[in-house]
A and B are shown apart, each in its own frame.
Chain A
Amino acid sequence: MSSTTSNLKDAQIRAEIDRSLRHPVMFFMTSGAAWLAVSIVLAIISSAKVHSPGFLDGCPFLTYGRVFPAHMNALIYGWGFQAAFAAIIWLMARLSRQVCRSVGTILTAGHVWNFGVLLGMIGILSGHSTGVSWMEFPVFAWPVLLISYFIIVIWSFIQFRVRNADYVYISQWYLIAAMVWFPWVYLTANILIFVMTGHPVMDYAVDAWFKSALMFLFFVPVALGTAYYLAPKVTGKPIFSYSLAKLGFWSLAIIAPWAGLQKAVGTPIPYFLPYIGAAATTLLFLPALFNSVNLLQTTKQAKEIVSSSPTLRFTLAGIVGLLILGFSAILLNMPSSTLPLTQFSLSGYGFEILAIYGFFSFIMFGAIYFIVPRITRREWLSRRLISMHFFFSVYGIVFVALIAIFGGLQQGAGQEDWMHDWSSAALRARPYAVAITVAWSAILISNVFFFLHLTLMWLRLGRRSSHPTLLVSHESSSPHGAEGDIDNAGPASLPAHH
């Protein structure tokens, strides 16, 4: 078989995989983006309430104590998980070279997931929150989410088992790990907190561990798996160092499960737990460093593409986010200096937003800009919409995360200053909250454009062209004029879509 035939055959398989996954992947991405917009609106409302407590006052379902958990839960379960599902099912199918044969089941489970999230959100806003951070959905929701999770990802696991290749890509390591760890973490936390009767303080500690584990054992590995696919794929260069990737993976696997309990320092639980948590969270700098250096070196091999490819630009921003996340893991968790300041301040929120938006979401946006043209076989409509999305998101997230992290340290310093009246400490958070409200508004603008753009793509209103939408103008040099090739030829133009 000549190499052209095998290339064409490979292209054919890729096209079949993409076609088989069009609807589930687009469904997860679009409904995820819609939840993201909802979450950001709730973020603006809740942040505004911190500095202007009279804003939208007195309405039960808009009280701060309900809007804020609704914001976080929509961000995690509405956007985060659905973006992760889209990435997992598409990447696993592509990397295992398997066409998806259970589209209907996945779509049904996806609808059930969304329905569960919707009911959970209504539950929180109508005053049925459980009061357990990041698990505020009323208790009926977690089995629904867990079962639909299994039904969504099990096929990717099967595809991995039946693949023909005998090698495993580093992306697959991360995705498989996230797929295994999440149900373990989620089931543990829900059973220990809601099903069994434990010591009330230990329940709180389990929740602190759950939040950290969800970030570092689900969102971080999914994003890393995706980044390890996108960076070499878009630049066309191999991963900088395979052993560094391995080191990054196993250091994360070994360190991350110990992290999280530093949030319970000073509470009556065994003394060693918060110290182990602080040590592990600080050490998370290592996997963050290994992986970000590896990925940055990979993209450095093709610098010129970074400015033109939307995918690479978002991915690169996410990798920088990972590096900052690693630094702040050290900065915020030193038991004898910063931990007392950050334990009960805005810093924790800044750290979480940095992990979920500053790192995970940026990689997911990169993946979406990469995947959507391939599965819809249409190119993105507008370079300007993509740049708007990028710049508003970057500026917004830099402000939200950094202001919350540093403002939180200031707020904590005020709390520790017991010689002064409490009200001076309480007022310290206000100016930072104003900045956070403004920054979330910028992110909202960016994501309204993004959601609109994505919806148009799902409706297959994208450009029919074989020229990808790049962030710099090359059209003038195209022999086919400004629009590039018109993709009327069907599968013949497949090799354009690697």
Chain B
Amino acid sequence: MSLKTFIFGLSASFGVAWLAVVVVPYFKMRDLQPIPMSAEPDSGIFFPKRTGRIADGALVYSENGCYLCHTQVIRPTYAGNDLYRPDWGGLAADPDRGDTRRETNAFDFFGESYAHIGLNRLGPDLSNVGRRVEEIYAKDGDPKAWLYNHLYNPRMLPERRESGCPSFRFLFDKQKINGNRNAEALPIAGDDSTELVPSSDAKALVSYLLSMKKDQPVATSLNFAPAKKDSDS
């Protein structure tokens, strides 16, 4: 076999797969067309809104390797049991909407340049962490303050003493109190003259985490939930 034939063989065996599983799907996905909410003519397009410092927060998320232990995907039931967990894909019993759980779709990563699907689940999935913090963990309190405390010391609450999450103390700055205390200062640590306040990175990260509420109603064509018997529509 000549070198030319050999290189051709290498390129062909590699190139076919390269086109089929990487290049063509990449460009197809890149031109993802918006989809209508339903078949009705004026239903509008499906556009899951997210608010918060998403790009900044995603940067802090990747720089500190959150994706190593946390995922951001609710797999359909053929690929895993994520949807059955009561608070992962949404809320099993939302006071207004009932069961809001749904799987992740291609429109859920609006505003991010890279989807942090994640590598391992040493911690819980974060697709709906914003929803969970607001509705469950900090039900009667301030969700932001709850997350700041959690990032500062993940094992502070008695029910979380087994948490394996590292402390992100370095995302908080110690500063002197001038006059009134900073409204966002942590209620823990610090003495009378100093206080611990979240740095810009911590603020971006918390804003990003709170933006994760991927349980909005989806377009009809993406709604794989079984039809409900007691549906009134």
Asked whether A127 lies within 8 Å of B64 as measured between CB atoms, the reply is yes
0/1 string, B1-41, CB within 8 A of A gives 1: 10100110111011011101111011011101000000000
0/1 string, A335-353, CB within 8 A of B gives 1: 1000110011110110000
* Complex Cα–Cα for A228 and B5 (A): 22
Any B CB within 8 A of the CB of A217: yes
Residue from B6, B17, B23 within 8 A of A173 (CB atoms): B6
Residue from B114, B115, B120 within 8 A of A345 (CB atoms): B120
* Complex Cα–Cα for A427 and B164 (A): 8
Any A CB within 8 A of the CB of B67: yes
Of A14-22, A31-39, A50-58, A286-294, the one with at least 4 CB within 8 A of chain B: A50-58
Count of chain A to chain B residue pairs whose CB atoms are closer than 8 Å in the complex: 218
Smallest beta-carbon distance B123→chain A, Å? 7
Chain A residues near B112 (CB, 8 Å)?
200
Asked whether B165 lies within 8 Å of A202 as measured between CB atoms, the reply is no
* Complex Cα–Cα for A184 and B13 (A): 13
Of A64-72, A97-105, A367-375, A474-482, the one with at least 4 CB within 8 A of chain B: A64-72
* Complex Cα–Cα for A343 and B78 (A): 13
Chain A residues near B13 (CB, 8 Å)?
250, 253-254, 257
Any A CB within 8 A of the CB of B155: yes
Chain B residues near A257 (CB, 8 Å)?
13-14, 16-18, 21
Any B CB within 8 A of the CB of A471: no
Chain A residues near B58 (CB, 8 Å)?
131
Any B CB within 8 A of the CB of A9: no
Name the residue of chain A whose CB is nearest to the CB of B87.
Answer: A422
* Complex Cα–Cα for A49 and B67 (A): 15
Of B138-146, B166-174, B177-185, the one with at least 4 CB within 8 A of chain A: B166-174
Asked whether A68 lies within 8 Å of B117 as measured between CB atoms, the reply is no
Chain B residues near A265 (CB, 8 Å)?
75, 79
Counting chain A CB atoms within 10 Å of each CB, which of B3, B25, B76, B105 scores highest? B25
Any B CB within 8 A of the CB of A473: no
Name the residue of chain B whose CB is nearest to the CB of A346.
Answer: B120
0/1 string, B41-71, CB within 8 A of A gives 1: 0000000000000000010011111111101
A270-B25 contact given A50-B122, A426-B164, CB 8 Å threshold: yes
Residues of A whose CB lies within 8 Å of any CB of B are: 49-51, 53-54, 57-60, 63-66, 68-69, 127-133, 160-161, 168, 173, 176-177, 180-181, 184, 188, 192-193, 196-206, 209, 217, 250, 253-254, 257-258, 261, 264-270, 273-274, 276-277, 280, 335, 339-340, 343-346, 348-349, 411, 415-418, 422-423, 425-427, 429-430
Closest 7 CB pairs of A and B: A131-B62, A65-B65, A266-B75, A266-B79, A257-B17, A200-B115, A268-B106
Can you give 26 contacting A-B residue pairs, CB < 8 Å?
A51-B164, A53-B166, A58-B169, A60-B170, A63-B166, A64-B68, A65-B65, A161-B3, A176-B7, A188-B18, A188-B22, A199-B106, A201-B115, A206-B22, A257-B14, A258-B21, A266-B78, A266-B103, A268-B106, A268-B108, A269-B25, A270-B29, A343-B80, A415-B121, A417-B81, A418-B84
